[in-house]
Structure 1
Amino acid sequence: MLLTADQIAQILGVEVPPVEGELTGVTHASNEVEAGNVFVAIRGFTSDGARFAPDAIKRGAQLVVAEAPIEGIPTAVVPDARVALARLATAFADDPSHRLTVYGVTGTNGKTTSSYVLHGILSTANGELATGLLTTAEIVVGTQREPAIRTTGEAPQVQGNLRRMLEAGVKHVVLETSSHGLALHRVLGTRYAAALFTNLTRDHLDFHPDMEDYYRTKRSLFERTEGPKLVNADDEYGRRIAAEVNGVLTYGHADDADYRILGAHLDGAGTTFTLKTPAGQSISLKTPLLGDYNVHNVAGAAAIVLEMGLDADTLVRAVETMAQVPGRFERVQAAQDHGFEVVVDYAHTDDALRVLLDVAREVTDASTVGAKLICVYGAAGERDPGKRAPMGAVASAVGDLNIITTDDSYSEDPAAIAAEVMTGADPNNTRIVLDRREAIRQALDEARPGDVVVVAGKGHERVQHLPHGDVDFHDPTVVTELLAERGAGTPAG
């Protein structure tokens, strides 16, 4: 959609310098500027976008929006550049979310899995071509899939993808919504028809000053959502949202949950449970996903679609046939030829690692007598260091053999990060192998029939961020390659 300078002024509520012709779009990245664009100079964490305004003009930008005048450049001065970026992105995309049914999913752990579960249910109910997904792992537009850059992209990416989905015939969109996306106004202008909260545990305290700020940011999604709002009654922060925001319903094991989980248990290669609705209906559900935390993920998604009018029969069919979630308790199929299980998961906090390993422990104990749980994990650099030692303690408490390795260390020394993790670990069942590929190799070499190997921390991600630069690294692919080197169909023993 093209906009005039007068329309831009009305959208931003500030005076806008004269501009020849109509403006063609908006971006905050000077290297992405196209002729006729508006360039919004955002003050980032490491640099001020105003520095790149001259380059943006050279590339064809007709107008710059910033929080202060820029000498020699036509600038519209606004109080908050990120808010301006979101408003302009929504306008240039012609406000797509008002013609879509957008489901927001937020929380610390489980939001990606819940997003995939919800997308799978909606795809079964409405058809794959009518359903879209914007999540940590990938962007899905009908049958087209592509990798995602971050959990919640900047406003032009969010609105641009919603517009692309609308034009492709998509009607229902699941939008995984991070606290960064909310706090940095990346989803400002998006109309949410429904929202789901999974849980809140320690994470992102390198960005949020404390847990209360983290919580309030998450809660803001429910204050702006127009339709059904579902929160986890078994999480203290979920109960707070239910108490503080009007119209919120709950799901969980709790006796007072509106949608109550009953009788959850492992059943062969999946999990079964009953979901009792506010109307007193009992719906029996079976999912190929394992563990109590996935029962919560499925129950939350089920509750929200039931509130949106989906019939129980379609829900049952959708839950039973859903696919694996990339990088979330993802079972590597090649391991079956060797007689053991390999699971790849995104767990990168002590709480997420505990939940993951508890489920893996249950699977291990249900296997052959004496089966071992082997865990490869690490902690990220330039992130909250307070979770490093607790991660070591969690792994040692649950796993039989644990290998601390390198996650995304960024500019930090991988050895120093591993040493911090080791301070919480038991040296009797833990070793450090900094090279991630070698750590996975050693774990696979240790595995015997019936064992479960967990590779945690990276999940679906395909790049490892290291001090010397980024390298390609995808845990499921590496596991498959290492197993192939052993020779297919040759179980360890």
Structure 2
Amino acid sequence: MKLAALAAALNLPASSQSPEVLSLEVTDVTHNAAWAQPGSLFVAVRGARADGHSFIQQAEERGAVAVVGEGLPAGVGTRLPYLQVPDARAALADLAAELHGHPSRELKVVGVTGTDGKTTTSWLTRHLLRAAGLRTGLLSTAGYELSDGRLRQFPAHFTTPEAPQLQGILQEMVQEGAQAAVLEASSHALALHRVRGVAWDAAIWTHLTREHLDFHGSVEQYFADKRRLIEASPFAVLNADDPWTERLRGIAPAEVTYSAEGRPADWQASGVQESGQGLQFQVHSPLGDFSATLPMIGVFNVANALGAMAAAAQLGATAEQLQAGLASFGGVPGRMQLVRDPDLPSEQQPRVIVDFAHTPPSLDKALHTLRSTTEGQLWVVLGSAGGNRDPLKRAPLGEVAARCADQAIFTEEDHRHTPLQDILDEMERGAHEGGFSNYRSIGNRQEAIRFAVGQAQPGDTVLLAGKGPEDTLERDTETIPWNETEEAEAALALRPR
């Protein structure tokens, strides 16, 4: 694509560059100089740790043909053409959408945001749209799928990838015949313009609690950044059980509400019953009343199902398709995922659950959910992220774990540069100040899992919390491969026969 077309997409006047420059051929766009290649347009983003302008020479050496930025810093020069814009991250997104041909315009796109429930709601929505006959792709924390249904992993810990990668995946979906896509939109992705340029058709709001304040600075800013999805969508699906929803009403041109707790809403659930096989409830909706069966653990998943159904209905799903789709849902990797030893009868082993719960509210919900169906003791193995990831939640996590479980094991969870013992001490402090003594720390996560699973008795439940479907574990400067489900399976296999 000619640079002239990209400059026009950024609303830059043609007179800002010479005809020779505007005729340059651009093959891709990136903000990472190490990813630049012949024909790249390099966007120099000023980040929290580094200024992209420092890497212009590297990008040029790798073949970049031009640079986009908010202005060259004093003492920094370049031989490449320089296009100045007011917001480099916004420009990165706009350029990516233009270079990939705005693929979302050819899809029905549902965005999902909130603190907890995003991933489950995203997977449920994807499944319901497929049950309604739409070839549907997915971008979520657990990975991404084209319309073929095969789960692929991102190369780094992004809930949503950067704009060039996101637009590239959407383009792949279109090329493979997708008709719809479901995108899990994190607060980081919304604040950093990673999903800018996506043509939304519907947005689902799950709920909001304290999270990622190291990045957003305050709960108010966290809310404001998440609200961007509702502001960008023509249709909003809002959780009436969330107090923040009142401040979202009337923002989108059209909206529906849902409630799993009996509040007035367009989509409601009643008569909820939970068993070892899952959930049964009645749905009251604009499509009429119907019964629903959802093979998932956790009453809180009723709310996720209602939000997903409301969005799928907006895209054309019928009540019959929603009913059949819920009943056939296979679950989400690392979300209340049941792990068993296939060589032993169920009554001869503890129940082991892998779940992504990593905030105090989500951990509280998960443990209370499992408590109601646990005959013996309830165990939990968990850690808390290091680095600059909201250290104020470490002590509350320890308190919730000790209060809600019979046995709490504190361990590592991506402690990065933060000394692991500092994190464990904070979690122990939270449990101790809560008046509990039913906890211990085992720093190595594999050892912690094997201890809990090895000590648990048949009838007990062991919740492995925090990692879920993530495929790496970060220890100081080291990043190692990790699979929580496989670790659970190995721990079960080591139990005495």
Aligned pairs for 1:199-218 (under 5 A) are: 199-218=207-226
1:42 aligns with 2:49: no
Shift of 1:195: 0.8
Give the aligned residue type for 1:460: P
Give the aligned residue type for 2:256: L
1:165 aligns with 2:173: yes
Match of 1:313 in 2: 320
1:361 aligns with 2:371: yes
Does the 8 Å CA contact 2:350/2:453 hold for their aligned counterparts? no
Shift of 1:249: 1.5
Aligned residue among 361, 376, 379 for 1:374: 379
* Paired positions, count: 477
User: Aligned to 1:126, what secondary structure does the other structure show?
Assistant: coil
Runs (4+) of structure 1 exceeding 6 A deviation are: none
User: Aligned to 1:476, what secondary structure does the other structure show?
Assistant: helix
Does the 8 Å CA contact 1:83/1:185 hold for their aligned counterparts? yes
User: Aligned to 1:181, what secondary structure does the other structure show?
Assistant: helix
Match of 1:13 in 2: 11
Distance 1:58 1:433 in 2: 48
Match of 2:145 in 1: 140
Shift of 1:468: 4.1
Does the 8 Å CA contact 2:454/2:491 hold for their aligned counterparts? no
Match of 1:221 in 2: 229
1:94 aligns with 2:93: no
Q: What do the CA deviations read for 1:399-422 (whole angstroms, capped 9, x no partner)?
A: 001101111101001111010011
Give the aligned residue type for 1:415: Q
Does the 8 Å CA contact 1:378/1:404 hold for their aligned counterparts? yes
1:266 aligns with 2:269: no
Give the aligned residue type for 2:379: I
Match of 1:423 in 2: 429
Aligned pairs for 1:339-358 (under 5 A) are: 339-358=349-368
Aligned residue among 26, 29, 42 for 1:26: 29
Does the 8 Å CA contact 2:399/2:431 hold for their aligned counterparts? yes
Distance 2:492 2:299 in 1: 29
Q: Give the stretch that moved more between structures: 27-36 or 170-179.
A: 27-36
1:388 aligns with 2:389: no
User: Aligned to 2:474, what secondary structure does the other structure show?
Assistant: strand
Match of 2:296 in 1: 289
Match of 2:161 in 1: 153
Match of 2:68 in 1: 65
Match of 1:113 in 2: 120
Shift of 1:258: 1.3
Match of 1:399 in 2: 405
Match of 1:186 in 2: 194
Distance 1:483 1:290 in 2: 21
Relative distance call for 1:451 and 1:16 in structure 2 (3 A) is farther
Unaligned runs of 5+ in 1: none
Distance 1:10 1:134 in 2: 29
User: Aligned to 1:189, what secondary structure does the other structure show?
Assistant: coil
Does the 8 Å CA contact 2:24/2:65 hold for their aligned counterparts? no
CA RMSD, Structure 1 to Structure 2 (Å): 1.6
Shift of 1:375: 0.4
Shift of 1:428: 2.0
Does the 8 Å CA contact 1:242/1:249 hold for their aligned counterparts? no
TM-score, reference length from structure 1: 0.94
Q: What do the CA deviations read for 1:421-443 (whole angstroms, capped 9, x no partner)?
A: 11111452111111111110110
Distance 2:477 2:185 in 1: 31
Distance 1:117 1:309 in 2: 15
Does the 8 Å CA contact 2:108/2:315 hold for their aligned counterparts? no
Match of 1:300 in 2: 307
Give the aligned residue type for 1:434: G
Does the 8 Å CA contact 1:242/1:250 hold for their aligned counterparts? no
Match of 2:339 in 1: 332
Distance 1:117 1:376 in 2: 27
Q: What do the CA deviations read for 1:346-380 (whole angstroms, capped 9, x no partner)?
A: 1111111101111111121xx3xxx0100001111
Distance 2:88 2:174 in 1: 27
Distance 2:132 2:251 in 1: 32
Q: What do the CA deviations read for 1:165-207 (whole angstroms, capped 9, x no partner)?
A: 0001011100000111111011111100011011101100001
Does the 8 Å CA contact 1:5/1:16 hold for their aligned counterparts? no
Distance 1:304 1:221 in 2: 14
Q: What do the CA deviations read for 1:32-61 (whole angstroms, capped 9, x no partner)?
A: 112111011111221111111111111111
Distance 2:151 2:452 in 1: 32
Q: Give the stretch that moved more between structures: 145-154 or 198-207.
A: 145-154
User: Aligned to 2:54, what secondary structure does the other structure show?
Assistant: helix
Unaligned runs of 5+ in 2: none
Give the aligned residue type for 2:418: E
Distance 1:333 1:482 in 2: 10
Shift of 1:333: 3.0
Distance 1:322 1:315 in 2: 11
Taking only the aligned residue pairs, the percentage that are identical comes to 38
Give the aligned residue type for 1:307: Q
Shift of 1:245: 4.7
Shift of 1:243: 5.5
Relative distance call for 1:254 and 1:238 in structure 2 (3 A) is farther
TM-score, reference length from structure 2: 0.93
Distance 2:405 2:439 in 1: 9
User: Aligned to 2:111, what secondary structure does the other structure show?
Assistant: strand
Distance 2:377 2:224 in 1: 41
Does the 8 Å CA contact 1:25/1:36 hold for their aligned counterparts? yes
Does the 8 Å CA contact 2:269/2:284 hold for their aligned counterparts? yes
Q: What do the CA deviations read for 1:116-150 (whole angstroms, capped 9, x no partner)?
A: 111111122225xx110011111101223211331
User: Aligned to 2:280, what secondary structure does the other structure show?
Assistant: strand
Distance 2:278 2:349 in 1: 19
Distance 1:333 1:178 in 2: 32
Give the aligned residue type for 1:414: L
